[in-house]
Structure 1
Amino acid sequence: MKNTKRIFTALVLGIGFANVQAEQQALKVCTAENEMPYSNQAGEGFENKLAQYVAERMGRKLEIVTWTDPRYFIRDYLDKGLCDVVMGVDAGDPRVLTTAPYYRSGYVFISREQDGLDLKNWDSPALKTAKRIAFAPGTPAETMLRVIGRYNDMFNYQQELVGFKSRRNQYVKYDNDKLVNEVASGKAEIAILWGPAAARYVKASPTPLTMTVIPDNAKRADGEKVGFQYSTAIGVRKGDTALLAQLNNIVKEQQDEIAELLEAEGIPLLEEPETALSMN
């Protein structure tokens, strides 16, 4: 009888330990339900692949938690403990703790190779003469189009890109593949997009396209800098320093492998500033 009790107790403790271990193995990562090329429910985005790689390096099972609206997912998902990790946040994002950057990239000018546009910076003549320039509102591209006097010229075209939807109190999505296709199809001469958002579609375009990284030296009329190059990191909940340390080790030790994943996507990768390299 005593032996039976011991066996039963051992089984209960063993099951309990296994359950705890299973819980620890799950790395809950918040990703977008449909924000390609970053992520989707089918796991086809490059951030899906990066999340899977990170989980494997940690020896943990990946559990995806999807969100639909980018405006609130930190508050409603990460902060409430529904997920542990957020891929693809700006390095130093004040809402979270961020790892050392796992890549740095920039906004790009996109045009058709056959057009031979010499797009180097915001003084490029092609920006003055283009009839249609595709871009997402609220980005640095909008700021600089206002500076060079082309924003009003593009107002009606921008409304066409979202089907004349009102942006009041709602999240209006500008599909990256559609904006790249505007150039590929000849509807627009130029697109100005975040490089990682455009790279997959530029690479896959049947019409050869040119993608030029925009220099990070633009300024508004008042002399204030307009940033076009940014470092991207992994975010965790404030206070979760143990998880942050684990992720930092992976980012720093597996830089070459992570770069390979990003280069396969076609993302233009830039050197990190010394200040970013010394973070965390």
Structure 2
Amino acid sequence: MPAWAKSLLSAVLVSVLCISHAGPGQAQTSDLVSKNAFRVCADPANYPMSDREGTGYENALAELIASKLDLPVQYEWYPMSTGFIRNTLRDNKCDVVIGYAQGHEMVLNTNHYFTSVFAIVTKADGPLADVVTLSDDRLKEARIGIVAGSPPADHMARNGLLKAAKPYNLVVDRRYESPVIDLLDDVQSGETDLAILWGPLAGPLVKESYPDLTVTPLLQETLPPRLFFRITMGVRQGEKVWQRQLNSLIRRHQDEINQVLIDAGVPLVNDMGDALLEVQQ
């Protein structure tokens, strides 16, 4: 069957299902959203983003949005691993995921509230501190820490940098294992020469605990896969009213959102991922 025919058939089936399930007594999807609390799905051990103690910047953003809604924050804790969305948002135990990459089909995305990029982390006074691109010849013999399966690994392979790379696990339960901390500790100790890490993890952790390290956003990588991502809030599919309400809050309070992220140390970039936002200059 041609691709266009499959798409048409899918659209028809969806329409039929919607009609067959509709009726005067059928609750709208947006009715599932709590009117008594700002119910947040979050990882209890994913600092600097979120943690049970409420010290992550996503915790701060949750408090900010909840204050605008005049509601208390209520958390549904679940490790950010397989089954996270199924066991939290889809199970109606919460109503929003504060940080979710734009375009993921498991959730309905709000408008993005920040864009960030992968970054190099190395010794601030080391010989590689001024490296800004993965094609730099000085990296050919460098020991590079990389989270296995993350987008920068493809760029490293293209530039012949994998032979001396040290991989770290991608999907873990952060309550028991912390590859991001291990990665930064290894740069600090000299076990590796540098690390390549998602900026919203690297920036806050280095700012707080690694004064001898420096974070350099990878703004000049133009080949795929892209290294920048737009981050949204995720809600249940079909909850367009709730999505629009959050979009309005994001638009009206973007400056406050930016300030929370900047204070945390998150490297904010423009929507194309090739320049730092002027607010950070």
> Above 0.5 in TM-score?
yes
Measured after TM superposition, the shift of residue 206 of structure 1 is 4.7
Matching residue of 2:134? 122
CA contact (8 A) 1:69 1:171 kept: yes
Aligned residues: 237
The one-letter code matched in structure 1 to 2:58 is E
The one-letter code matched in structure 2 to 1:195 is G
Matching residue of 2:259? 260
TM-score of the aligned structures, taking structure 2 as reference length: 0.78
Matching residue of 2:277? none
Residues 191-216 of structure 1: CA deviation (Å, up to 9, x unaligned) = 10000011122112454222111135
Is 1:134 equivalent to 2:145 in the alignment?
yes
Of 137, 141, 160, 1:149 maps to 160
Is 1:186 equivalent to 2:184 in the alignment?
no
Matching residue of 1:73? 84
Gaps of 5+ in 2: 1-33, 274-281
How far apart are the structure 2 equivalents of 1:141 and 1:174? 19
Percentage of pairs with the same residue: 29
Answer with 203-212 or 138-147: which moved more.
203-212
Is 1:176 equivalent to 2:180 in the alignment?
yes
Gaps of 5+ in 1: 1-22, 220-224, 275-280
Matching residue of 1:202? 206
How far apart are the structure 2 equivalents of 1:254 and 1:175? 34
Kindly name which structure, 1 or 2, has the bigger radius of gyration based on alpha carbons. Answer: 1
Higher helix fraction (1 or 2): 1
CA contact (8 A) 2:188 2:213 kept: yes
CA contact (8 A) 1:105 1:229 kept: yes
Measured after TM superposition, the shift of residue 86 of structure 1 is 0.6
Matching residue of 2:234? 235
Matching residue of 2:122? 111
Matching residue of 1:36? 47
Of 102, 114, 121, 2:113 maps to 102
CA RMSD of aligned residues (A): 2.2
Residues 61-83 of structure 1: CA deviation (Å, up to 9, x unaligned) = 11000102422111221112111
Matching residue of 2:215? 211
SS in 2 for 1:145: helix
Residues 160-188 of structure 1: CA deviation (Å, up to 9, x unaligned) = x56xxxx9x97685532221222122221
Matching residue of 1:25? 36
Distance 1:24 1:66, change over 3 A: same
CA contact (8 A) 1:177 1:198 kept: no
